[in-house]
Chain A
Amino acid sequence: MFVCLWSPVWRTVADSLAELSPALLTVAPRVVTEERRGGLVWVDARGLDAEHIAHSALEVLRGIGLSNVRVGVGETPIVAEVIAGTGNGEPGTEAPRGVTVPGSQFPVPADSRFPIPDSRQSLGTLPVSVLEPDPALATLLDGIGVETCGELAALEGESVEVRLGAEGVRLWKLARGEDDRLIFTPMPRELPHASLEWSDYTLTDTERLVFSVNALLGTVCEKLMERGSLSREMTLDLALANGATLTNAVRSGRATASRKTWLRLVRTLLERMVLPAGVVGLTLRAATVVTDVGQQGDLFDRGFATAAATEAALASLAEEQGDVVVVPENTAHPLVERRTKWVERPGTGDGRRATGRKRAPSGGLSTQDEPPEGFRIFPVARRPSPVPGSSSPVSLVPSPDSSTLTLYLLPTPRAIEARTEERRDHVLPTGYRDGGAWYGILSAAGPDRVSGERWGEAYAREYFRCIVDDGGMVWLYHDARADGWYLHGWWD
């Protein structure tokens, strides 16, 4: 039920907002003001006792000195609005049912009730002018002899559309008591949050804070999952012992309700944070919440469907093992093993792929292409049979052009024993012993001399690329400072 209040003595809508709304909110959950008709005040009585609320609203308004207020109650907004707005003394209007005009020509009896009017009947005898039609349309209606809402409502919809147009249809619907206006916008639900306070002690240890945040995350993530939502951002407020509050935003690359993911992000935040004082309280709020449906994916992105699963798996991996999903950060250091610093792959945990957005393989063969003669590798397990000759395709076939022999390094160069022969300005390895076995060197290229680090750990190496008799190519170097031979890597 909608309760509409209107008064000819209201001066401005601003007055209504400033004065009426707080007072009316004491008797009704929601109050909305509108500028039309000189100011309307809507009181939300849906699901409540509309008559009681209307009475209470009138009493409240009378209490603040507004006695000449009219009230209308209706199942639809237009009914309540017309009831409240009519009977205003204009010639030709009559007091409709359900209208009370306190202090006016329609006094409220002591035991007055607000009978809930049937919408069609309530508007039936009222003139069309109460619907505030467009002047041109009003003239047209007058011309065809339609004077009351009941007469307009009795017309056929098709004929109204043909003769009176869109505006006529709108008016026809209002006359029938059909009003789909959204007077009260949907109530935004309270975002999930949880808080914890303590007074006997203060916390500065990150692990203890993470422990407490973990408990809060359990509540927040559970609420998110209950309402089928995901959070893209959470806010962590740290109440400090000195009275200050530190507010920190934690963002996830992809909206998620995964407790593990958020715990990992919060842990990262807390580990980097320097606290000016001990913490005596925590508040965790989901700041940005999205619904867990309707994510529009890229139809051509094969990885989209599994992004959430990938995110969960990578987050779990990071949670259990730390930053193990890495990318290299290369410098220009002459020593290849010191050239690279492995850092956490950005976006780990959101399931996104950093590169490889190309739709067409570059140099690679698509599943439809015929692989080259004698080159069939890497069957996909989800396809039933990788055996050639069957009807199932063999995919993930890299082009031979994209395959190269690439250098791999031992984590630490391994000392070996080498046989050498003299050259004009260096010695050349002809064989080496590694792990008890001797390997003959068929050919060797080098030396590639590298030296440096005057102030640090100095090095001077002579590198050789050697073809071993078993076919492999290894990377050996002679440490000129220690006069020793080392196996550093191999090509594979």
Chain B
Amino acid sequence: MLRAACRSTVANGERAVWIDTAGTIVGAFWENGPYLVQPKSRQDALKGAEELLRCGGFALVVLDGTEPEGTEMVRLTRAVREGGGAFVAITPNPSLAKLRMESKIIPHSYRWTRGPFDDPVEVQEATIRVRARAAGWNAHADITVPVTPHDVRLSLEPGLADRRGLPR
């Protein structure tokens, strides 16, 4: 959903940046539009986040893979206030956050397409329970979202054209 927020930000004519410290973003599933920053260390991630927040050019900054602590969070909060953008940190320690959100996929909510022997083949969608909390407010919602099918390539050698299935 954060990635959807980034896309929505860009579609609205503003800039969004995703700071991927752990390098978990899969290139094949990344859509151009938001900026993607892959810092080499935790410190670089925090410094980059602060700079991007403070410049005021980004409406949304997402920090993934780095959990700011203590004074780091205070510093980032000041940068947010200075730049006027939105900052989302994916962390279990959301101190100083105006809005805290947690989400969890409901285990038995997956909907599968099944094969001829009733075995699961492809996940179609899943339901996420999202809980949001702010000062004096607490709410939750269940959202059903599709699952991006992953692309398993079975070509024996990379670079070779896969002509299987073509009429001879």
Do these two chains really belong together in a complex?
Answer: yes
Residue ranges of A at the interface with B (Cβ–Cβ < 8 Å)? 300-303, 306-307, 309-310, 312-314, 316-317, 320-322, 324-334, 336, 338-342, 345, 351, 353-362, 364-366, 373-382, 386-389, 396-400, 402-411, 442-445, 448-454, 463, 465, 467-473, 475, 489, 491
A356's contact among B33, B56, B87, B112, by CB below 8 Å, is which?
A: B33
Chain A min CB distance to B52 (Å)? 6
- Among A341, A381, A386, A491, the most chain B Cβ lie within 10 Å of the Cβ of A381
**Contact with A326, one of B38, B98, B121, B151 (Cβ below 8 angstroms):** B38
Q: Is B123 an interface residue (CB 8 A)?
A: yes
Q: A302-B14, A306-B57, A471-B104 are in contact. List 17 more A-B contacts (CB 8 A).
A: A321-B39, A324-B39, A325-B35, A327-B36, A328-B27, A334-B152, A336-B150, A356-B10, A356-B11, A356-B33, A378-B2, A398-B1, A404-B147, A405-B148, A411-B23, A448-B152, A452-B157
What residues make up the interface of B, taking CB atoms closer than 8 Å to A? 1-5, 7-15, 22-30, 32-40, 44, 47-48, 51-52, 54-60, 80-81, 84-88, 98-99, 101, 104-110, 112, 119-123, 126, 130, 132, 134-137, 139-148, 150-159
Using A330-B28, A378-B88, A386-B98 as known contacts, say yes or no to A324 and B44 having CB atoms under 8 A apart.
yes
A-B contact pairs, 29 of them (CB 8 A): A303-B15, A303-B57, A306-B15, A310-B58, A313-B51, A317-B37, A322-B40, A326-B37, A326-B38, A336-B150, A340-B28, A377-B101, A379-B99, A381-B81, A381-B98, A398-B8, A404-B147, A405-B123, A405-B147, A407-B29, A408-B24, A450-B154, A452-B156, A452-B158, A453-B158, A463-B152, A468-B107, A470-B107, A473-B147
Chain B interface, >50% SS class:
mixed
Let me know if A404 and B48 touch, CB within 8 A. Answer: no
CA distance A373 to B56 in the complex (A): 31
Residues of A within 8 A of B146 (CB): 404-405
Task: Judge whether B121 and A325 touch: CB under 8 Å.
Answer: no
> Complex formed: what's the CA distance from A465 to B113 in Å?
13
Q: Which A residues lie within 8 Å of B151 (CB)?
A: 336
Contact B60 A378 (CB under 8 A): yes
Contacts of A397 in B (CB 8 A): 5, 8
Q: B13 contacts A334, CB within 8 Å?
A: no
Q: A residues within 8 A CB of B26?
A: 336, 340, 406-409, 489
**A445-B58 contact in complex given A374-B139, A406-B148, A411-B23, C-beta closer than 8 Å:** no
Q: Bound state CA distance, A403 and B5, in angstroms?
A: 8
Q: Which residue of B lies closest to A395 (CB)?
A: B12
